[in-house]
Structure 1
Amino acid sequence: MSKFFIFCLCSFSIIGSCVLADQVFSPPSIKVASGFEVRLAASDPIVKYPMMACFDDFGHLYVAESDGRNLTTRAAIERELPRFVRRLVDVDGDGVFDKSTIFADRMTMPEGGVWYNGALYIISAPYLWRLEDIDGDGVADKRDKILGTMEFDGRANQHGPYLGPNGRMYFSGGHFGYDLIGTDGTRSGFSRAAGIFSCWPDGTDVQVEGQGGVNPVDIVFTSNGDMLSTCAIFDSFGGKRHDALIHWMPGGLTQRVYGSPLLPETGFRLPATSRWGQVAPAGLIRYRGKIFGEAYQDTLFACHFNTRKVVNVRLESNNGSFVTVEKDFLSSDNIGFHPADILEDADGSLLLLDTGGWLSWGCPFSKKARPEIKGAIYRIQRKGVLGQQDPRGLRVLWDSINSKDLVYLLNDPRPAVRDKAIEVIITRDETILDVLSSLIIDSDDPVFRKRCLWAVSRFKSERSLVILRKALKDPDSGVRQVAARSLGRLKDLKALLPLSELLSDSSPSVRAASATAIGQLGDKNALSFLFNNLNPNDPIHTKHAFVYAIARIGDSTAVSSYLSDNISSFRQQIALRVLASIGGDLDSRRVIPLLRSPDSNVCQEARRLISSRKEMKGEIINIFHDIIKEEKIRTPDDELIEGIILAFAQDNRFQELLLDALSSKAIKPKIKVQILASLSFLDSLPDSLQSSIIIGLNHLEADVRMESLNIAQRFDVKENVLDAI
């Protein structure tokens, strides 16, 4: 019997049974979009429970694999070290893997992986590892810890890493707790708020890129550098759990963060780009080849574990972010079919990893483990379309190719060749930057110009920075985004002025990228540029970028100066919000007047700031005490009384002050009415303040008694009220 055979019926390709190494594997029935076919690429005994995978430069596949058990504690996992990384080789080049070796055994929970610079980088909690095969026998001889640590308990919650276009490693997860420490001592801080993280390949410069959801999984980047990921448990909406596709922004918090975030609150939470319900999204890729046709180029393929399908997602730019157009691409009705990862092979086909039926721990849909249902790896191809010749560029004379021809390979139709070209470019001396600069100027193709700029950004030299600064004036908004993102990461202080000019760019995405870059520069002189270009009508992602940049610069004294900006209440609102996030010294005389602002948003932010500053409590309570004793109360003072009460109603000392004021004959009835009216705006009335109703009901003034009845009705307080009446 042959290694595989395919049956085509209408719009579906259905896998038949096959034999590998004299053992029969019966694959499930799989439906795939019209014009495509599915082939079996590996199954038992070559592979049994594949979870996530990546290719090396030669097409060897590295598979993070389970042993089929559900261990539920860290202690059990560290005792057993049950999982491993398998290396698969297609010896004869027919698309089916023939040879299997264990590349790295005795691991905890390897998930994800990327091949970079001759080694496999992979998350296996509690560390990010670099695994290298020194003697070429297909087994890792050297294991280096790049950074750590991450807590784990057997549930999938750490993934990656993934190589960003800027050369950084990105990875995800963290809901069980982490404190990431890089090789240079940079540190994330401890948190249980899951998110996206990054570092350079040597483990330096650890960054928290964004936080939210419970289990962010695979990460992809658009050609402009936008970062997206799948996420299991984004939030609960309408009483139901929602998983999602997220468009992340640097420093962004999603609408629901589970745990205490390390990032500052900007007030502009990132929404879901697409809500999927409880599908347990896992693997995600951006299709970069051309073999599938124009309709699929630059679209995403997302694995939905629970619903046993792969969804094709087209991103459409929309007001600084994206909307999606989605359709089912592949599915199976078989209960044991669980697509966990998907990746693009160099020939343009897709590899789909079905992990089988073993998983039950942490998966509410898989109540019962079925390890007898083995997983497999499938290859998805377009019917009647031949793959490209030399898809990995193994015939290219990389060591001797001249610089111009090397740069032109960035426009090659083969994604693997383009990736290899970048890695070779950055090994050349800086004279190649002159070639890149010349070709960027001469090219009318923005896609090629962006690829060139990503290569330029990897040099981290003054010559490369000059090229990137010039690109800020490129007519294409995507090119401007790439340039801005690169200059921010490289912390080019000379780029401040040209970046500031883009804060009023016609594209909200360019404005956001420029604001983010300015925040990364950390120059306090940039605050005026950011504040002067704040626009309340900008989309959420763009407003977040501006506020995060201001918070990242972190100059509380300079930010406080905008509290007196009577021209723009929006600037006052943002200044208050940033001050609440970054802390620092604060002059209460600048904040208190804003409690009387005619702009309700400013009032709300002022109250929020005051309530977050314990050091201001005594001073503000004293101010309140003075106001209620004044002979004549002005309307702004009414609003100030209300604001202070709302901010401090939970404070024991302040509660005693309120009760004393309501009982005192020295306090005018009008003030007492105002105090009681303010209490009615609380979300709930503290138990210790319920006696305020009784005090009011026993007052001689009818207005005071009436306001007390209003509070009793508002909070449904019945105890002792009838007796008081």
Structure 2
Amino acid sequence: MAARAPCGRTLVLLDSSCYVGVVLPTPLFEPCSRSSCHRDRGNHVMRRTLPTLIVLAVSTGLFAAMAATAADGKGKPSIPQPDFQVPAGFVVEKVAGPPLVRYPLFAAFDDRGRLFVAEGTGTNLPGEELARRRLGRILVLEDTDGDGRFDTSKVFADQLVFPQGALWHDGALYTASHPSWWRFEDTGAGQAGRREELLRGFKFNGNGCDIHGPFLGPDGRLYWTDGRHGYQVTTRDGQRLEGFASRIWRSKTDGTQVERLCGGGFDNPIEIAFTPEGEAIGTMDQGTGDALLHYVEGAVYPMEHPCLQEFVMTGPLLGAIRQYTSELPPAVCGLTRYRSTHLGRAYQDTYFGTHYLLHRIVQYTLVREGSSYRAIEKEFLTSSNHDVRITDVLEDADGSLLFIDMGSWFTYGFLGNPLPKPDALGAVYRIRRSDAPAIADPWGKSLRLAQRSVGELLSLLDDPRPKVRDQAILYLGKRGNEAVAPLAQVLRAPSLRSVEARRNAIWALCRIGTESAHAALCLGLRDPDMRRAASGQLLDDAGQVR
């Protein structure tokens, strides 16, 4: 079947996600002056074409696409079970799929091991229609028998426009869903009770290039991303903020003290992960080419766009720590820092990212270059199935990795207007090392951390279980000034406590946030291993000590 590409270039359409053809040597993103080619992506009109002699449907990929369209004998396309390739010693297991979950997008664990999944709409509708119908939901999945697979599903929250994120923190679930980001309190029965709109006024058109998140920073603040569709928000502190540029935002968990951390002319920032020192690393989809970016406070990033006039420019635009070609972008999406040893020491404190259009997960290793980083990339998981669209990756408490395959039902705004495949409903998968030993009580449920003393919590700041460390930080932060002096003592004696414990003492002091806690943070400036983490928390927007 032949189809016309933008501006008259001829493509051979083999499958809704698969093109073969010979085209002119033009970049994938370029200005288009012909009205028939216009597509508004935030008033910056672009078109996508394919590079010279590129064959996307090659070898196994072609056969996978052909198999996906084979009839099942009932006149419907059959959707084959995806095939995944991972390094030797690793296995991939499906842990949730229909009917438990359909159209999954992003996910997060709570502190009990339940999985909250932001579920898509299964439609390809413009933004106004999505806002009217409110088809989006968040599900909560549970593994009740401990076999590693989820066996129950409940609707936790519904009547959402297009949820693009999930975060559990301190007894509540947070999500970004047009035009706002939200906080839902759990009733205890797996359903949302109180629904609180924390910030409103983010625009979108239905193509998914808008608000994502939020993400919990180690400093205890919420971070989220917003694509280049514009915003007009009034914060809970009464501040009026508006603009058109893409931004990285942060605030306190109650929605106060909203800040625009950085931004630029890029199109669609998606997920954020944090270095051990608290620096933000994020995925950026589209623009001059997909990229992995180091988000620095006050920084401005490519691409060139009129919206850059919104920023104070003190130098050139900052580049990427990993830049992809504009001719064939991977559509970078999910990102997480891996903290466990389950997969092996070679993976600890590296990052896993998803490439939505290339059906793969990659491992990023960050190498310090001056005041920023360079990211070295290595393939970790691949699939030749063109219906696989990996949007998110996250670490379970036992050190295994979960990833979200959303399926190929969503094509709104895609190159060539490919046909959606509503039968490709998506699923949740787990990657684990086959010979890894089991971890006892990975969530620390038996520890009853909420009832522990400050001294007992201090001893867990370098526990080998990441989720136990996270909860120790949380509960120390909730103790307020009672915990300041003991935390300061951890920083005063660097030879007696590990780097992990000292760094987590800094994050606990950030959560407390009192004047005495800020004074204790200054102790971190004396420790070369803590200086980067501590200094980032002591300076305000004007570069002055808080």
Q: Shift in Å at residue 434 of structure 1?
A: 1.7
Is the CA contact (8 Å cut-off) linking 2:488 and 2:523 kept in structure 1? no
**Does 93-102 or 257-266 show the bigger shift?**
257-266
In structure 1, runs of 5+ residues without a counterpart are 1-23, 236-241, 490-516, 523-725
Q: Of the candidates 316, 330, 345, which is equivalent to residue 268 of structure 1? A: 316
Q: Residues 521 and 174 of structure 1: is their aligned pair in 2 closer, same or farther, counting only changes over 3 Å? A: farther
With CA pairs under 8 Å and 6+ residues apart, which has the higher RCO, 1 or 2? 2
1:221 and 2:274 are equivalent in the alignment? yes
For residue 470 of structure 1, report the CA deviation from its aligned partner.
2.2
- Distance across 2 between alignment mates of 1:115 and 1:259: 37
Query: What is the aligned residue count?
Result: 461
Calculate the TM-score normalised by the size of structure 1.
0.62
**Residues 1:412 and 2:463 are matched in the alignment:** yes
Query: Is the alpha carbon distance of 1:171 and 1:429 closer, same or farther for their aligned partners in structure 2, counting shifts above 3 Å?
Result: closer
Measure how far apart 1:463 and its partner are.
2.0
Equivalent position to 1:46, from 100, 103, 115:
100
Distance 1:520 1:199, change over 3 A: farther
Q: In the alignment, which residue of structure 2 is the partner of 1:519?
A: 543
**Residues in 2 aligned to 1:27 and 1:350: alpha-carbon distance in whole angstroms:** 19
Q: Secondary structure at the match of 2:531?
A: helix
Which ranges of 4 or more aligned residues in structure 1 deviate by more than 4 Å?
A: none
- Which residue in the other structure is 2:538 paired with? 487
**Contact 1:412/1:418 (8 A) holds in 2:** yes
- The 3-state SS of whatever aligns with 2:278 is coil
Greater fraction of residues in helix = 1
CA contact under 8 A between 2:79 and 2:424: conserved in structure 1? no
Please tell me the residue identity of whatever aligns with 1:167. G
- Tell me, yes or no, if structure 1 residue 287 matches structure 2 residue 341: no
Q: How does 1:418-429 map to 2 (within 5 A)?
A: 418-429=469-480
1:177 corresponds to 2:225: no
Asked if the contact 1:113/1:122 (under 8 Å) is kept, the reply is yes
Kindly provide the amino acid, as one letter, of the partner of residue 239 in structure 2. T
- Tell me the residue number matched to 1:250: 297
Q: Cα offset for 1:397?
A: 2.7
Instruction: Return the match for 2:360 from 300, 303, 309.
Output: 309
Secondary structure (helix, strand or coil) at the match of 1:272 reads coil
Q: 1-side partners of 2:249 and 2:243: how far apart?
A: 12
Of the three residues 110, 116, 131, the one matched with 1:62 is 116
Matches within 5 A, 1:548-567: none
Matches within 5 A, 1:36-115: 36-74=90-128, 76-115=129-168
Deviation of 1:58 (Å): 0.8
The 8 Å contact of residues 180 and 206 in structure 1, kept in 2 or not, is answered as: no
SS of the residue 1:452 aligns to: helix
Q: Deviations over 1:81-135 (max 9, x none)?
A: 111111111111111000011111111010112111211110001011011222x
**What corresponds to 1:193 in structure 2?**
245
Q: In the alignment, is residue 335 of structure 1 matched against residue 335 of structure 2?
A: no
Q: Relative to 1, partners in 2 of residues 1:320 and 1:363: Cα closer, same or farther, differing over 3 Å? A: same
**Aligned twin of 1:501:** none
CA distance in 1, matches of 2:153, 2:499: 42
Given the superposition, is the C-alpha separation of residues 408 and 257 from structure 1 closer, same or farther in structure 2, using an over 3 Å criterion? Answer: farther
Distance across 1 between alignment mates of 2:246 and 2:144: 40
User: Matched residues in 2 for 1:36 and 1:366: separation?
Assistant: 36
The whole-number CA distance in structure 2 between the counterparts of 1:368 and 1:329 is: 29
Q: Once the 2 structures are TM-superposed, how far is the Cα of residue 190 of structure 1 from its aligned partner? A: 1.8
Give the conservation status (yes or no) of the 8 Å contact 1:88–1:99.
yes
- The Cα of 1:391 is off from its aligned counterpart by 0.7
Query: Counterparts in 2 of 1:237-636, with a 5 A limit?
Result: 242-261=289-308, 262-277=310-325, 278-364=329-415, 367-444=418-495, 445-476=498-529, 479-489=530-540, 519-521=543-545
Cα distance in 1 for residues equivalent to 2:397 and 2:448: 18
Task: Please state whether the residue corresponding to 1:122 is helix, strand or coil.
Answer: strand
Q: Give 1:257 shift.
A: 4.8
Cα shift at 1:412: 0.8
2:263 pairs with 211, 214, 236, which one? 211
User: How many Å separate the matches in 1 of 2:217 and 2:156?
Assistant: 25
CA distance 1:365–1:395, change in 2 (3 Å): farther
2:232 pairs with 1:232: no
TM-score by length of 2: 0.82
Q: Structure 2 CA distance, aligned partners of 1:43 and 1:102?
A: 15
| Cα distance in 2 between the residues matched to 1:366 and 1:279 | 18
Cα displacement (A) at 1:440 = 2.2
Question: Helix, strand or coil: the match of 1:112?
Answer: coil
Between the aligned partners of 2:456 and 2:132, the Cα distance in structure 1 is 53
Identity %: 37
CA contact (8 A) 2:161 2:177 kept: yes
1:159 to 1:194, Cα distance in 2 relative to 1, 3 A:
same
How far 1:291 moved relative to its partner?
1.1
